[in-house]
Amino acid sequence: MAIGVLFEFPGVSSQQYDEACRRLNNGRPLSSLADWPEPGMVAHVAGPTPDGGWRVVDVWESEEAFGRFGQQLVPVLEQVGIPAVAPQIFPVHNVVTQRPKRVRGGALARRLMAQERPRGSSWVLPGLLRRPTGPRGASS
């Protein structure tokens, strides 16, 4: 079952967050879900809190996937001086995402299909793998 995870880090800066992300991704920023060091991330959002801290909201396919990621995350947070805080974990009722308009070259589709996913939690959206029937604007 998908879970939501909410972290509230008091006194943490965007620089600390960015450094933690780079350390999780071999020195590169985390800019897509494919960059995550552990499979199972559905969505990630981060930003400042009104009181000068940092908030992170994640959606994970399962608590087990998040737990595996947590084993990598905790040492990195310690390295960059982000305090250990207990996340708020809650069951996800609904996730809404924007459907991709087109897959060019099929690379995304191949990558999605190669990922092991529990039954019923596929990333492949209806119509994502349809091949175009002709040039743009042409009807078949």
pLDDT, one tens digit for every residue, the chain (140 residues): 999 999 999 999 999 999 999 999 999 999 899 999 999 999 999 999 999 999 999 999 999 999 999 999 999 999 999 998 999 999 999 988 776 655 454 554 455 455 454 444 433 333 333 333 344 444 44
From residue 94, alpha-carbon distances to 3, 42, 68, 84, 97 in Å are 10, 12, 23, 28, 10
Contact 122, 2 (CB under 8 A): no
Residues 6+ apart with CB under 8 A from 29: 18, 21, 22, 35
Nearest to 4 by CA among 59, 43, 41, 68: 59
Spans of all domains in the chain = 3-91, 98-129
Quickly tell me which residue has 């207990």 as its tokens.
86
Return the CATH number of the domain spanning residue range 3-91. Answer: 3.30.70.100
pTM to 2 decimal places: 0.69
